[in-house]
Amino acid sequence: MRDDQVVVDLVLRAREGDAAAWDAIVERYAPLVWGVCGRYGVTGSDADDVAGGVWLRLVERLDTLHEPAALPGWLVRTTQRQCLQLLRARKRQVPVDDPEPGPGGEDDGVDGEMLVAERRHALRTAFAELPARCRELLSMLFAEPPASYAEISAALGLPVGAIGPTRGRCLDRLRRSRALTALQLA
């Protein structure tokens, strides 16, 4: 019962913009979010993305949380949904890597080279059609070496917690581009 009152107090203070309350909520419930991610087999940067999405949703929806004491349950359900969404998206991903070597262990000559060139062209075309912000973000994330989330946040003025969800939306948009869709149909 006393724990419920602590949660209610933190939620009410966070609604009023108290940064210390937000920090306390994240510190208190981050292990819960990570634990749910682990149960779904979501680890590493994927878990970072899921957690970032959960905290972003909490920022967006804290005012609509009718029962502040229910925050832990809300975090569990939201994390579960984010994990399932990530896992479903992963199943839908279509690799655009270079084709496998032919049956003799070598490329299939001119046809194989043309296919590789066509795929690369389609990817470049699809990337060029993305909004500038998506191109900047993806370029920083996939650079060698990739920029850290802190560097990306500073360069793009994007909160660290929004980088993963934004990356997901940009990649979804890239996958749905006409250039890549046409290539998959061919």
pLDDT of residue 94: 57
pTM of the model: 0.51
> In this structure, are 9 and 58 located in the same domain?
yes
If one compares 172 and 97, the residue with the highest pLDDT of the two is 172
Q: How far apart are CA 37 and CA 14, in angstroms?
A: 24
pLDDT of residue 177: 86
Predicted confidence (pLDDT) per residue in 60-115, tens digit: 888 888 899 999 999 999 999 999 988 888 776 655 555 455 544 444 556 667 77
Q: Which two tokens stand for residue 171?
A: 């990649």
Whether the CB-CB separation of 62 and 15 falls below 8 Å is answered with: yes
Predicted confidence (pLDDT) per residue in 124-161, tens digit: 888 888 999 999 998 888 888 888 888 899 999 988 88
> In this structure, are 10 and 60 located in the same domain?
yes
pLDDT of residue 1: 46
Predicted confidence (pLDDT) per residue in 159-171, tens digit: 888 888 898 898 8
92, 127, 159 - which closes a domain: 92
> In this structure, are 141 and 180 located in the same domain?
yes
> In this structure, are 8 and 53 located in the same domain?
yes
pLDDT of residue 97: 54
Give the containing element (helix H, strand E) for 18: none
Q: Report if residue 98 sits inside a domain.
A: no
Per-residue pLDDT band for 37 (boundaries 50, 70, 90) equals: very high
Q: How far apart are CA 36 and CA 148, in angstroms?
A: 25
Domain region containing 30: 2-92
Q: How far apart are CA 137 and CA 177, in angstroms?
A: 17
Q: How far apart are CA 186 and CA 35, in angstroms?
A: 42
pLDDT of residue 183: 65
| Cis peptide preceding 101, ω within 30 of 0 | no
Largest Cα–Cα separation, the chain: 72
What DSSP assignment string belongs to 24-72?
Answer: HHHHHHHHHHHHHHHHTT--HHHHHHHHHHHHHHHHHHGGG-S-GGGHH
Q: Angle at Cα 35 formed by Cα 31 and Cα 38, nearest 5°?
A: 140
Predicted confidence (pLDDT) per residue in 3-29, tens digit: 689 999 999 999 998 889 999 999 999
Instruction: Work out the average pLDDT over 109-122.
Output: 73
Q: Report if residue 58 sits inside a domain.
A: yes
DSSP 157: T
Give the containing element (helix H, strand E) for 144: none
Tally of structural domains, the chain: 2
Q: How far apart are CA 154 and CA 41, in angstroms?
A: 30
